[in-house]
């Protein structure tokens, strides 16, 4: 679900190009009003990539569309957690990517809605550099207990993407199309 129609259309095109249309659904709408758009507990898996920055933080973008996508003017971690909790049944799974520096804020919001972080993985641009984002798997109604996976490095320090990152961007040995 995205508040911006062009981004929903782009997601649909990408799913079609990658033969995933039968496995994913995209909706135009405001995550803050998901309960008026979709029925409760209607998905076993929810994947989210919410805006990373808090309103007024980070670099302001040139266009309103970029600001909406990257800054939380219309979507806070609390909004994300409430929407996911509405959509997921007991033991349903939430997968999301978020800014690493705001991980504590995200975990607090998830737990306040009964979404227990179960696995996390910090993503680093290079070895020796701080993490930029965190990948999170949470379970609706899950018991406390979380696995911290080894870090994922985007580049190897010698100007090349890591093998692990490249494997994540392939399907059955063929590069995914965007």
pLDDT at 2: 86
What pLDDT score does 27 carry? 85
What is the dihedral sign for C-alpha 69, 116, 164, 178? negative
CA distance 58 to 38: 32
pLDDT of residue 177: 47
Quick one: which H or E segment has residue 137?
Answer: strand 133-140
Q: For residue 132, give both structure tokens.
A: 């930029």
The secondary structure of the chain in percent helix, strand, coil, rounded to multiples of 5, reads 30, 25, 45
Q: Is 63 helix (H, G, I), strand (E, B) or coil?
A: coil
How many CB atoms neighbour CB 107 within 10 A? 21
Enumerate domains of the chain plus CATH numbers: 5-175 (3.40.50.150)
* pLDDT per residue of the chain (178 residues) written in tens, 0 to 9: 888 898 899 999 999 998 999 998 888 889 999 999 999 999 999 999 887 676 666 666 566 666 555 555 568 899 999 999 999 999 999 999 999 999 999 999 999 999 999 999 999 999 999 999 999 999 999 999 999 999 999 999 999 999 999 988 776 555 554 4
Task: Report the pLDDT value the prediction gives residue 69, as an integer from 0 to 100.
Answer: 55
Q: What is the pTM of this model?
A: 0.83
């Amino acid at each position: 679900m995205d508040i911006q129609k062009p981004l929903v259309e782009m997601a649909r095109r990408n799913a079609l190009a990658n033969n995933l249309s039968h496995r994913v659904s995209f909706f135009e709408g405001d995550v803050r009003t998901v309960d008026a758009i979709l029925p409760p507990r209607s998905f076993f898996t929810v994947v989210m990539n919410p805006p990373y920055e808090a309103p007024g933080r980070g670099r302001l973008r040139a266009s309103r569309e970029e600001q909406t996508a990257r800054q939380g003017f219309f979507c806070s971690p609390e909004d994300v957690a409430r929407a996911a909790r509405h959509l997921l049944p007991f033991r349903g799974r939430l997968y999301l990517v978020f800014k690493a520096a705001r991980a504590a804020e995200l975990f607090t919001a998830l737990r306040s809605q009964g979404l227990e972080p179960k696995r996390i993985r910090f993503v680093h641009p290079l070895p020796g550099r701080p993490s930029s984002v965190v990948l999170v798997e949470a379970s609706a109604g899950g018991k406390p207990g979380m696995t911290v996976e080894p870090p994922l490095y985007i580049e190897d320090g010698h100007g090349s993407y890591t093998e692990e990152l490249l494997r994540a961007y392939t399907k059955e040995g063929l590069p995914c199309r965007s």
